Chains A and B, each alone.
Chain A
Amino acid sequence: AQTVTQSQPEMSVQEAETVTLSCTYDTSENNYYLFWYKQPPSRQMILVIRQEAYKQQNATENRFSVNFQKAAKSFSLKISDSQLGDTAMYFCALCLIQGAQKLVFGQGTRLTINP
């Protein structure tokens, strides 16, 4: 079975600072995808960034980047130049390529950006 663990229930930073959210996962499979999803207070979850496990290069999307350490099964999200609109719950998720391809989510990290 696959598990995803986010060890930081809450984080808070000042606007314009850089923040890193941690995620570790466990799977015996070698082929999978990892995702970070953002859930603002309105509750509609949206994709932030994704990483294919077979790619060594870390994914980046504008101010968002990941640090993917496959051997350590670690997948952290870095948000640079944080903005008030980044305030949300952030979920790390794992999806195996084989089988039903269901997303397994972590418990989430509540991120607050302070003005």
Chain B
Amino acid sequence: EAGVAQSPRYKIIEKRQSVAFWCNPISGHATLYWYQQILGQGPKLLIQFQNNGVVDDSQLPKDRFSAERLKGVDSTLKIQPAKLEDSAVYLCASSRLRVVNTGELFFGEGSRLTVL
């Protein structure tokens, strides 16, 4: 089966500009996650969707970050305006059901953002 697709792979922007990342999960996967991975750190969950509803967005900086998952399939993560500290790899992951039912998240290759 096809894996989790993400684009773009790399993006360089100036601070205060906006950027959007796209994720297409594995077909049939109900749960979709966006993680932020800053260099040298472990991934941090930004938002979790179950179908097209938000399950957890407690660590999403809502003043500048937004995410949507229309029709419960692909998802877009937007940052506006970007700050220097947003430089990171943004990982999208999906799972068929809830994590403990399947025991596994499937990750995309990530989108690396550099904010200058």
Interface residues of A (CB under 8 A from B): 4, 6, 33, 35, 42-47, 50, 91, 93, 95, 97, 100-108
Contact = CB atoms under 8 A, between A and B. Distances in A.
Q: Which 9 A-B pairs have the closest CB atoms?
A: A105-B42, A100-B56, A45-B107, A101-B99, A47-B104, A100-B55, A50-B103, A43-B110, A101-B98
A102 B48 contact: yes
A50 B103 CA distance: 7
B42 A44 contact: no
B44 interface: yes
Contacts of B3: 44
Interface residues of B, number: 24
A107 B40 CA distance: 7
A73 B3 CA distance: 33
A4 B45 CA distance: 14
Given A33-B99, A45-B91, A47-B103, A103 B45 contact: yes
A46 B107 contact: yes
B89 interface: yes
Contacts of A103: 33, 43, 45, 99, 105
Contacts of B104: 47, 50
